[in-house]
């Protein structure tokens, strides 16, 4: 071993420097936490909640009766997207406020857009990345894919129609008959899923449109194509 | 600052390094499980973002 050097003097400058370096490292750690730790943790939590919670209220009220007074963040339904992975389930909350719905519950219903099964457009949004990223794979939906929505009233099967990348200002995409949605007609029963695009960016939006294919009541039970997946 | 911490820690080189690793792990755990979740809930809403 070499000879011991006298301990360096600790100056104010060296303390400030080390604090700044530490702050930088902590900021990077925060980003890493959001991406690699918090995201899968939240996604897992959302899946478990969705599997456990039944959207049906004990009173079995008709959904049309409760939908008018739904508060922000109130869970009213469940979303099943087989394309996102075997047993993908998420709760759907009312409203698209991040702190209340999108960061916690998952997908959120655009207030003012229609309810599942109705004539018009049932529109929901969710994070593409971070906070569980429920719509991370939204770009993988393709022709023939089915998406299921469950509420007190029963099950609604929507079939994939179209995907488009638009600007965030293009709010017409969630209107009853979106102009960009070729083939959409007045009186159609549509569903819209929106998220950010590209991943990790807020620059654009990815929009997926679907059309109602089948509607089943609680008594009729879930559609066969969904029931067979749930049993797996 | 960190040099002072290193000097304060007891033991030889190996002990000091092990203690530093343990300390770092404790700080990381504190950040990941307590501080960051709180910070995340405090970050203000940007109505234009749903990334």
DSSP calls for A77-135: EEEE-GGGSTT-EEEEEES--IIIIITTTS-EEPBTBPPTTSSEEEEEE--SSSTT-TT
When pLDDT is cut at 50, 70 and 90, the band that residue B4 belongs to is confident
Token look-up 């569903």 returns A191
> What one-character DSSP code corresponds to residue A113?
B
Measured between alpha carbons, how far is A221 from B20 in angstroms, rounded to an integer? 59
Q: Rounded to whole angstroms, how far apart are CA atoms A136 and A6?
A: 56
Q: Is the pLDDT of residue A68 over 80?
A: no
Distance CA A177, CA A168 (A): 18
**Structure confidence at residue A57 as a pLDDT band (50, 70, 90):** low
Residue A80: pLDDT over 70: yes
Is A170:A213 a contact under the CB 8 Å cutoff? no
In degrees, to the nearest 5, what angle opens at C-alpha A142 toward C-alphas A141 and A146? 75
Of B4, B45, B48, the CB nearest to A202: B48
- Neighbouring-strand partners of residue A7: none
Residue A16: phi, psi to the nearest 5?
-60, -45
A87-108 pLDDT, tens digit per residue, is 899 999 999 988 888 988 999 9
- The mean predicted confidence, pLDDT, of chain A is 88
pLDDT mean over B25-47: 85
Strands A89-94 and A108-109: parallel
β-bridge pairing A75-80 and A146-151:
antiparallel
At residue B48, the pLDDT reads: 47
The token pair at A176 is 């009853």
Any CB–CB contact under 8 A between B5 and chain A?
Answer: no
pLDDT for position A35: 84
Which residues have C-beta within 8 Å of that of residue A86, sequence separation ≥ 6? Answer: A229, A232
Question: What pLDDT sits at residue A70?
Answer: 83
Asked if residue A164 has pLDDT above 80, the reply is yes
User: What is the structure's pLDDT at A130?
Assistant: 85
Query: How confident is the model over A213-223, as pLDDT tens digits?
Result: 999 988 888 99
Shortest distance, CA A112 to any CA of chain B (angstroms): 16
Say yes or no for a CB contact (<8 Å) between A202 and B39.
no
Rounded CA-CA distance A85/A124 in Å is 19
Region A149-172: mean pLDDT is 93
Q: Record the tokens describing residue A133, joined without a space.
A: 């990223």
Q: What is the mean pLDDT of residues A176-185?
A: 92
Which residue of B32, B45, B51 is in closest CB contact with A97? B45
Q: Do B51 and A200 touch (CB under 8 A)?
A: yes
Phi, psi of A50 (to 5 degrees): -65, -40
Helix (H) or strand (E) holding A189: strand A189-197
A159, A146 in Cβ contact below 8 A?
yes
Of the spans A21-25, A70-74, A219-223, which averages the highest pLDDT? A21-25
Q: Taking CB atoms and an 8 Å cutoff, what residues of chain B touch A97?
A: 45
Residue with the two structure tokens 């770092």: B24
């Amino acid at each position: 071993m070499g000879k011991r050097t006298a301990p360096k003097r600790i100056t104010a400058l060296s303390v400030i420097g080390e604090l700044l370096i530490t702050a930088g490292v902590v900021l990077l750690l925060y980003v890493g936490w959001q991406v690699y730790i918090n995201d899968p943790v939240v996604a897992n939590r959302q899946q478990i909640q969705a599997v456990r919670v039944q959207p049906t209220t004990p009173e079995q009220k008709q959904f049309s009766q409760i939908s008018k007074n739904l508060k922000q963040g109130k869970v009213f339904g469940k979303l099943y997207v087989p394309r996102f992975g075997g047993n993908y389930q998420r709760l759907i909350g009312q409203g698209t406020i991040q702190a209340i719905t999108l960061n916690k519950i998952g997908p959120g219903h655009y207030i003012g857009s229609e309810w599942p099964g109705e004539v018009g457009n049932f529109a929901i949004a969710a994070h593409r990345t971070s906070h569980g990223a429920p719509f991370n794979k939204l770009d993988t939906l393709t022709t023939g894919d089915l998406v299921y929505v469950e509420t007190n009233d029963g099950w609604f099967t929507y079939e994939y129609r179209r995907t488009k990348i638009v600007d965030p200002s293009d709010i017409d995409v969630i209107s009853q008959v979106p102009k960009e949605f070729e083939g959409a007609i007045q009186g159609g029963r549509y569903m819209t899923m929106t998220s950010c695009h590209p991943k990790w960016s807020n620059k654009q939006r990815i929009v997926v449109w679907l059309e109602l294919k089948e509607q089943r009541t609680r008594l009729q039970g879930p559609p066969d194509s969904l029931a067979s997946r749930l049993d797996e | 600052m960190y040099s002072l911490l290193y000097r304060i820690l007891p033991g030889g080189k190996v002990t000091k390094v092990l203690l530093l690793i343990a300390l770092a792990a404790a700080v990381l755990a504190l950040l990941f499980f307590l501080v960051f979740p709180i910070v995340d809930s405090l970050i203000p809403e940007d109505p234009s973002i749903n990334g």
